[in-house]
Structure 1
Amino acid sequence: MNLPLNTSANISDPIAQARYNMIEQQIRPWNVLDADVLELLSVVRREDFVPAAYRNLAFADIEIPLLGDDAEEAVRLGQSMLQPKIEARMVQDLRIQPTDKVLEIGAGSGYMAALMAHRAERVVSLEVNPALASMARDNLRNAGVQNADVRQADAARDAIPDGPFDVIVLSGSVAQVPQNLLSLLREGGRLGAVVGNDPVMRFTLTRREGDRFVTTSPWDTTAPRLVNFPEPSSFSF
């Protein structure tokens, strides 16, 4: 999608200024340099995907709680939005194309699905929490996004229909890349996930090349856990 270029000269209200500051002060310095991705961030209104209680923090460099009044508990349960810079860099590094079919694990508020839907042909987003699934559907509908489908499902345990996919993205962290999801990638497909254990995690990008999977881990970060995916044993001998 070709989007009109936005510059600071167009900014005339506090929300637009805050959005511009987020892009220029948080996201661009984090090596997000793709002009289309940067423009996308100015078009998809992040504040419309944030609960009303946290709307004033929509552009802050934090994880925003989505459910309940206990912010720390919401983040612990994976019921939060990722930091804007992480979302932006994931979208950039996955190199989503207009013909791509995308699978997202963890819909959250629907914001990540909205970003990807502007670049992809179709996005299927799976969310285990019914309240978040409903929130994401409402937010995407209100934003006029018609090519993103949110379904309540547990991607760690349920069968996943509609594969194979060109892109799979996990909007949360896991201890290791799930093998069942790798099998859903078509030739040339990419899977992006934050992998590891706090405080050491890395964004891991896996590409299918025939029968091989080629993996790189280009940058460090942390993210809340996706629920129900396997965890390493805590026992030592």
Structure 2
Amino acid sequence: MIDFAELRRGMVDGQVRTNNVTEPRLVAAMLEIPREKFVPAALKSLAYIDDDLVLAPGNPPRYLIEPMILARLVQLADVQDDEHVLDIGTGTGYSAAVLAQLAQQVVAVEEDAGLAATATSTLAELGVANVAVMQGPLNAGWAKEAPYDLILINGSVDEVPAALFAQVKEGGRLVAVVGHGGAGRATVFSKIAGSISERVAFNAAVPALPGFQAAPRFTF
């Protein structure tokens, strides 16, 4: 029988802590949340490897991004315990479960109906009561519950749509990986006096999310 608790400790000690993730509440959350509950049955034995795992086929496929990258993105987001958070591309809900340990309330948006249903049932099974899973286009966010103190995008994007920046509260943040492969840049965007500033924090290669392709530009 697989000792998932031991694998979880190994993930945190070998992947998370060693990559400068030091926020105590985040480390505690990743030690507690059973990541194996959020992956397909055939992949449960791989739930704690340092790689992205396919959750659903598609163009592009949907992934659960590797633990270290998720941890670094969440740490970059600097989540506070009184904050209202939007988790875009939650997949089966693992990122929402992590954020739920850190924030007051999480709205998790998922476009794929099967993934959204799995996220809803898994979070309920684990007793995570402060997450609401919504189904809809990822690039539209969830305006009904806006504004948000923080928006986290679970995957790489060509660009962040203006519709998402509009859902960030004044003084709030949006965290995303902009660009793909080796050119991906983990970036925190801040809204100050209605304007958006950005700061690149580190390079990150994560799978792309659907719906965030840059619009074609004409050149002369």
Q: Judge same fold: TM > 0.5, yes or no.
A: yes
TM-score, length of structure 1 as denominator length: 0.86
Where does structure 1 lack aligned partners over 5 or more consecutive residues? 1-12, 68-72
Residue of structure 1 equivalent to 2:31: 42
Amino acid aligned to 1:21: G
Residue of structure 2 equivalent to 1:82: 65
Residue of structure 2 equivalent to 1:4: none
The CA deviation string for residues 99-156 of structure 1, in whole angstroms up to 9 with x for no partner, is 1111111120100000101111111111111111111111111111011011110132
Aligned-pair CA distance for 1:57: 0.5
Aligned-pair CA distance for 1:20: 1.2
Contact 1:104/1:171 (8 A) holds in 2 = yes
Identity of aligned residues (%): 33
Q: Secondary structure at the match of 2:143?
A: coil
Cα 1:158/1:93, change in 2 over 3 Å: closer
Residue of structure 1 equivalent to 2:16: 27
Match of 1:168 among 151, 161, 166: 151
Contact 2:182/2:203 (8 A) holds in 1 = no
Cα 1:143/1:158, change in 2 over 3 Å: closer
State how 1:61-100 maps to structure 2 within 5 Å.
61-67=50-56, 73=57, 77-100=60-83
Provide the C-alpha distance between the structure 2 equivalents of 1:230 and 1:46, rounded to a whole number of angstroms: 29
Provide the C-alpha distance between the structure 1 equivalents of 2:171 and 2:183, rounded to a whole number of angstroms: 28
Residue of structure 1 equivalent to 2:7: 18
TM-score, length of structure 2 as denominator length: 0.92
Provide the C-alpha distance between the structure 2 equivalents of 1:140 and 1:205, rounded to a whole number of angstroms: 27
Cα 1:229/1:200, change in 2 over 3 Å: same
How many residues align structurally?
A: 219
Cα 1:159/1:58, change in 2 over 3 Å: closer
Provide the C-alpha distance between the structure 2 equivalents of 1:44 and 1:159, rounded to a whole number of angstroms: 25
Match of 1:233 among 202, 206, 216: 216
Amino acid aligned to 1:108: G
Cα 1:159/1:117, change in 2 over 3 Å: closer
Provide the C-alpha distance between the structure 2 equivalents of 1:139 and 1:216, rounded to a whole number of angstroms: 34
The CA deviation string for residues 56-104 of structure 1, in whole angstroms up to 9 with x for no partner, is 011001111113xxxxx55x52411000011111111111111111111
Residue of structure 1 equivalent to 2:92: 109
Aligned-pair CA distance for 1:198: 3.0
Superposition CA RMSD, Å: 1.9
Match of 1:151 among 123, 134, 137: 134
Provide the C-alpha distance between the structure 2 equivalents of 1:132 and 1:112, rounded to a whole number of angstroms: 13
Q: Secondary structure at the match of 1:207?
A: strand
Provide the C-alpha distance between the structure 2 equivalents of 1:175 and 1:198, rounded to a whole number of angstroms: 11
Contact 1:175/1:232 (8 A) holds in 2 = no
Provide the C-alpha distance between the structure 2 equivalents of 1:158 and 1:186, rounded to a whole number of angstroms: 14
Q: Secondary structure at the match of 2:9?
A: helix
Residue of structure 1 equivalent to 2:168: 185
Contact 1:78/1:172 (8 A) holds in 2 = no
Provide the C-alpha distance between the structure 1 equivalents of 2:186 and 2:215, rounded to a whole number of angstroms: 18
Cα 1:14/1:155, change in 2 over 3 Å: closer
Provide the C-alpha distance between the structure 2 equivalents of 1:157 and 1:118, rounded to a whole number of angstroms: 25
Q: Secondary structure at the match of 1:114?
A: helix
Amino acid aligned to 1:92: Q
Aligned-pair CA distance for 1:158: 7.3
Contact 1:102/1:166 (8 A) holds in 2 = yes
Contact 1:204/1:217 (8 A) holds in 2 = yes
Provide the C-alpha distance between the structure 1 equivalents of 2:172 and 2:141, rounded to a whole number of angstroms: 21
